Structure 1
Amino acid sequence: MPLRSVYLIVAALVLALLPSTAAHANGAPYTGKQYDYGGAITQISGSVQTVDDVADSIKTSTAATVNQIAAQRATLPYGDIYPAAGTPAQLTTYPGPPAMAASNQYSATVQQSGGQISSYVYKILARKTDTNRELDTSWTSFSFAGSVTVRVTRNAPGATGCLVRPYSANVVTSFSGSTCTFTLTEPGNLSVEFLPDIHNPILHPMLVFANPPEVDVPSASDPNVRYFAPGIHNVGAGQPITSGQTIYLAGGAFVSGAFIATGPVSNVTIKGRGVMSGLFMDTGNQDLNKDQPGMIDIADQGSTNLLVEGITFVDAPRFNVRALAQYTTIHNVKTMSWWYSTDGMVGGNKSLLENNFVKSNDDSIKLFWGDTTARGNTIWQLENGAPFMISWNIHVNPQTFNVYDNDVIHAEHYQIEKSGIFRALHAGSGTLSRYLFDDIRVENATWRLFYLAIEDNKWYDPALGHGEIEQVIFRNIYAHTTYTKPNLVQGYDANHKLRNINFQNVYANGVCFNNVQAGNFTVDPVTTNAIRIYRSTDGSCRT
């Protein structure tokens, strides 16, 4: 049998073995245990309607907010982000920056009609070299509609096959020589991995950002547009973000810059297919980097109506995108950064974080300000932080988060004890509530799924006291790996609890959890109440 056919079969088998998330048991009979304050344990048999009602309420509320955000975004100059249905087949590649060396690890071509077209491959080096186990990251970026055939060639010898993550993208590959070939019919932010180097740490990752076609492209002659054409632009830090402004990075633009709003701003669009680099701000020192600004930094929560779309952010020493405006959209953004202090993205109250790729060493997606939807995102977590961070020291009372249909393709946790895919280290006075995590897929992580705690940390202010966390639902969580660390659910004391925390159809370590033993949970009976661990009885959660 030809080698190409062998790898087509292997890829198909891998996809077939993954649990399907299409069939849900929401509202169906369940079996499991409820753990209450003081150590009481009761059997769950049948429906848990109160939890399903909370989940439905969160979905209804955030869907209405997403519509409000869309209505606000429609008023922006150049605010359209979705190609129209029936957009004709097209393919756009982008030039590499002049005098910047392409990756020496990989090359890539794309093909739609006619011959193959070279697609420029970038490379950035690891920066926190005392802990980063990876050496660099390469990526290529293009835009298309219809279908496109992608070929990625690894320059180093020794590969025996390839695959594409996330598995949920259902990308079937073929392999010949040192080239991985696959055809896409939908946009996606993908990791191309060459066997046997598909487990953490992958020393030389290769990413493919297959964008949708650009729409509503700004005019370079518009006086309200700051337009960066293809080429290298060194503009530095402190670049102002002002109300009514559009900042556009064309594909092939490489901008060394950081943009900041010094007060409240409104009606701002930041978009394009170019690259923004923060390497010029990197001091090479972890502590000093904490004083650097974000690359997009809008900290005033009086801001409103913001769009960040399409741009690739690399080598940020601090925040990539901090966008605390109300009615914020962060869409199809790509971030890659290396330091413990470098977060991926956070939106303000009433935000939509959609179809982004985040490769970060600190928290990838911060869920801090409420009334937020995060969907369709792909996360590659480095050794610090969490893919989904619920709290550090929140002193307000945020509520209503709908986090669904996301993929964590790697989490390289290996030494920081309190790491986890879902994490809360809440030392603030706020009460956090109404979180729905649904259809989250985790592919290559071995440390811990859940670390949920109210506990002091070095930023804790004893004058403010402690808060609580309540009404959190983890539903249809599929982790295709084995974890070595126990899951933790722990409040602070009898008056500052984790309450009504639900683990419904959570699959990991080859089992679907229905009690603390099956899920390897540590649940503190003195500081928690109504902790439910249960699975459906209809077979939709793999057992």
Structure 2
Amino acid sequence: MRRTHRTHRTHRTHRALLAGVVAAALAVTGALFAPTAASADGAPYTGNQYDFGGAVTPINGDISTVDSIANSITASTQATEADVAAHRATLPYGDITPGAGPALSLYPGPAGVPASDQYSVAVNGQPSFVYKSLARKTDTNRELDTSWTSFSFAGSVTVSVTALGQSGLTGCMVRPFSAAIATTFANNTCTFTMSQAKNVSVEFDPNIHNPIPHPMLVFANPPENDVPPATGDPNVLYFGPGVHAIGSGIVLHSNETVYLAGGAYVQGAFIANGPVDNVTIKGRGVLDGLFMDTGNQDANKNQPGMIDIADQSSSNVLIEGITLVNAPRFNVRALAQYTTIENVKTMSWWYSTDGLVAGNKALVENNFVKSNDDSIKLFWGDEVVRGNTVWQLENGAPFMISWNLEQDSNTFHVYDDDVIHAEHYQIQKSAIFRALHAGAGTPNRYLFENIRVENANWRLFYLTIDNNKWYDPTLGYGELDQLIFRDIHAYTNFTYPNVIQGIDGTHKVRDVNFINVFTNNACQSDASDFDIDPATTNAVRIVKSADGSCWT
């Protein structure tokens, strides 16, 4: 039933929350570069189904139709993943498996790029250069900056992160919790061991909840593999260590490899003017867009993206390993068929800076996205999106399902991802999972499972067909259909209810399934935490496993 707006919830105390999430973290195993398998069916279930017109039907048993859809999505995306890998294997430098070593690769700080004044880092006792990016949309950004370091390793390493000039620190932790990384703290230094490649946030108590003024990120990469030569291959554009001011007019060509070595700091943007095939952009270097930033939100919308392959007839694109910072517009738009976006890191500040969007038939895996617009757009279909870590700023959504889509995009498998922060605090329609669908298409067949949400308190789901000023309603409306959210674990409480709403009785949000969703300290089995419009929705199921196996 449609519910009225609720008052703010009472949140657990800082210490109780921290104790609970640390215990949960130690119970979770999951490696970024070896994603876990998708969930098995959890029948029998107990819960309720909410249908068009307001009918409520108890569910006690299996939901075989939903399980069948989930299994169909999984089978389809597994085939897509194989197709993407087969195409990637034809690229000259397209192998994304970790290399053999060396045991540790540290990268020099580029001359003229100042080191962070907030943190220093040592890896196995050796200094690792720490960068810093200043907040740019200062009227809404509640953070002041972000620092980060990047290195590659095999085996295991000991990392020590020291907070410089900060007083009153009492401890530290590493997010995401699924990494299960234990820490020690002494003299403003957080020390921990890593035995698997992972992109993580190092946070110092008491500054572990939104907003964190000075975030510190550690990008611990696997050893590189299939590295192109610095010279001798005319199809390789190679950037070695140091600063390279190349501008925003670098045009991508078919059968080209762009390589940013560790320690390379490239002030530029790479754009395809039309269709391209067999393109690789890889390395351990940094792509910086600050030179394009006008300092104005509206003016920045006229700036190019950092990596832009917009022609959907393009094919076979790999973007791997690099770090993108200070994008005034979107970070990576790679709309080619058979695209892989692997272990890419992005940090950006403006409302118009989307994180990652791939084309039809894609693998989006093991990335770290810190963005102020949508972090991962799920727009083109036949995609596997797994092992990613998201830090969402105040605008946009970690997982954006639709924004005025005009095509029937379908078949997405999104799993084993972590949202470590979502800084939503003022935009009413914000949520972790969001659809603001005003287009004529009917996006369908989305399977989300094993998603973990840590530091967020605004809203978990906002799934609507919702007219907006960017869409012409004379073009007509579609629907949202066949969405499955299974094994979603939010470690926090949310202020606002989940919203499920179509635009009229003909254009509905339908066949939406919430299975073993743990939020607000409970596993959901009814609409008490939902605002479901009975006049514009149908077949909304909220269930939990009857055997009590839902995460607690």
TM-score if structure 1 supplies the norm length? 0.95
Aligned counterpart, 1:57:
72
TM alignment of 1:310-389, pairs within 5 A: 310-389=321-400
Sort the Cα spacing of 1:24 and 1:275 in 2 relative to 1 into closer, same or farther, 3 A. Answer: closer
Query: Alpha-carbon deviation of 1:17?
Result: 3.6
Residue matched to 1:204: 214
**Residue aligning to 2:129:** 120
Counterparts of 1:46 and 1:283, CA distance in 2 = 57
What does the per-residue CA deviation read over 1:49-82, in whole Å, with 9 as the maximum and x for residues that have no partner?
1001111111111011001100000000100111
**Residues 27, 48 of structure 1: 8 Å contact kept:** no
Aligned to 1:105: 118
Distance 2:473 2:187 in 1: 61
Q: CA shift at 1:542, angstroms?
A: 3.5
2:204 to 186, 191, 194: 194
Match among 21, 28, 38 for residue 53 of structure 2: 38
1:12-23 aligned within 5 A: 14-17=21-24
CA contact (8 A) 1:344 1:360 kept: yes
Cα deviation 1:399-455 (Å, max 9, x = unaligned): 000000000000000000000000000010001100000000000000000000001
Deviations 1:235-254 (A, max 9, x none): 10121000000000000000
* 1:301 corresponds to 2:312: yes
CA distance, structure 1, for counterparts of residue 92 and residue 440 of structure 2: 39
Is the aligned partner of 1:95 residue 2:104? Answer: no
- Displacement of 1:15 after TM fit? 3.3
TM-score by length of 2: 0.94
Q: Aligned partners of 1:536 and 1:14: how far apart in 2?
A: 22
Structure 2 distance, partners of 1:14, 1:399, is 34
Tell me how far 1:157 sits from its aligned partner: 2.1
Q: Identify the residue that residue 524 of structure 1 maps to in structure 2.
A: 533
Give 1:5's aligned residue. none
Indicate conservation of the 8 Å contact 2:28/2:180, yes or no. Answer: no
Other-structure match for 2:270:
259
Check conservation: 2:326, 2:349, Cα contact below 8 A: yes
Instruction: Specify the alignment match of 1:437 in structure 2.
Output: 448
Partner of 1:157 in structure 2?
167
Q: Which consecutive residues of structure 1, in runs of 5 or more, have no partner in the other structure? A: 1-9
CA distance in 2, matches of 1:541, 1:83: 34
Q: Report the more deviating stretch, 88-97 or 305-314.
A: 88-97
| Aligned pairs, number | 526
Query: Gapped runs of 5+ residues in structure 2?
Result: 1-16, 30-37
Partners of 2:48 and 2:526 within 8 A in 1: yes
- 1:461 maps to 472
SS in structure 2 of the partner of residue 322 of structure 1: strand
Q: Does 1:170 align with 2:180?
A: yes
Instruction: Work out the CA distance in 1 between the residues paired with 2:230 and 2:173.
Output: 40
- How many Å apart are 1:25 and its aligned residue? 6.3
Q: Distance in 1 between matches of 2:544 and 2:27?
A: 15
Contact residue 24 and residue 177 of structure 2 kept, 8 A: no
Q: How does 1:493-504 map to 2 (within 5 A)?
A: 493-504=504-515
Q: What SS does structure 2 have at the residue aligned with 1:478?
A: strand
1:463 CA drift (Å): 2.5
Q: Report the 3-state secondary structure (helix = DSSP H, G, I; strand = E; otherwise coil) of the residue aligned with 1:39.
A: coil
Taking a change above 3 Å as real, the CA distance of residues 109 and 20 of structure 1, as seen in their structure-2 partners, is closer
Is 1:214 the equivalent of 2:224?
yes
Q: Is 2:487 aligned against 1:472? A: no
Tell me, yes or no, if structure 1 residue 130 matches structure 2 residue 139.
Answer: yes
Give the whole-Å Cα distance in 2 for the aligned partners of 1:486 and 1:247: 46
The alignment partner of 2:80 has SS state of: helix
1:193-235 superposed Cα distances (whole Å, 9 cap, x missing partner):
0000000000000000000000000111111000001000001
> Match of 2:81?
66
Letter in 2 for 1:379: V
Q: How far off is 1:16 after superposition?
A: 2.4
Aligned position for 1:146: 155
Would you say the 8 A contact 2:21–2:491 is kept in 1?
A: no
Q: Distance in 1 between matches of 2:301 and 2:96?
A: 33
Letter of the 1:141 partner, please give it: S
Q: Structure 2 CA distance, aligned partners of 1:303 and 1:492?
A: 35
Q: Name the CA distance, whole Å, in 1 between partners of 2:367 and 2:297.
A: 26
User: Which one is further off, 527-536 or 87-96?
Assistant: 87-96
**Residue in structure 2 matched with residue 273 of structure 1 by the alignment:** 284
Task: Give the letter aligned to residue 223 of structure 2.
Answer: P
Give the secondary-structure state (helix, strand or coil) at the position aligned to 1:443.
strand
Secondary structure of 1:317 counterpart: coil
Q: Which residue matches 2:32?
A: none
Q: Distance in 2 between matches of 1:73 and 1:256?
A: 27
Deviations, residues 4-53 of structure 1 (Å, cap 9, x unaligned): xxxxxx99974324596789562421100000011111000011010011
Aligned residues of 1:401 and 1:436 also touching (Cα < 8 A) = yes
Contact 1:21 1:476 in 2 (8 A): no
Q: Distance in 2 between matches of 1:80 and 1:107?
A: 33
Distance 1:465 1:279 in 2: 39
Distance 2:87 2:43 in 1: 38
Return the structure number with greater relative CO, CA threshold 8 A, min gap 6.
2
State the match for 1:398 in structure 2: 409
Q: Distance in 2 between matches of 1:394 and 1:384?
A: 19
Per-residue deviation, residues 137-161 of structure 1 (Å, max 9, x unmatched): 0000000010000000001122100
Q: Moved runs in structure 1, 4+ residues, more than 2 A? A: 10-25
Distance 2:28 2:416 in 1: 9
Task: Say whether 1:26 aligns with 2:41.
Answer: yes
SS at match of 2:443: strand
What is the rounded CA distance, in whole Å, between the counterparts of 1:293 and 1:252 in structure 2? 24
Letter in 2 for 1:164: V
Identify the residue that residue 10 of structure 2 maps to in structure 1: none
Q: Which amino acid aligns with 2:167?
A: P
How far residue 501 of structure 1 moved from its aligned partner, in angstroms, is: 0.2
Which deviates the most, 218-227 or 435-444?
A: 218-227
* Deviation string, structure 1 residues 497-534 (Cα, Å, up to 9, x no partner): 111000000001100000001xx100000100000000
**Matched residues in 2 for 1:108 and 1:83: separation?**
24
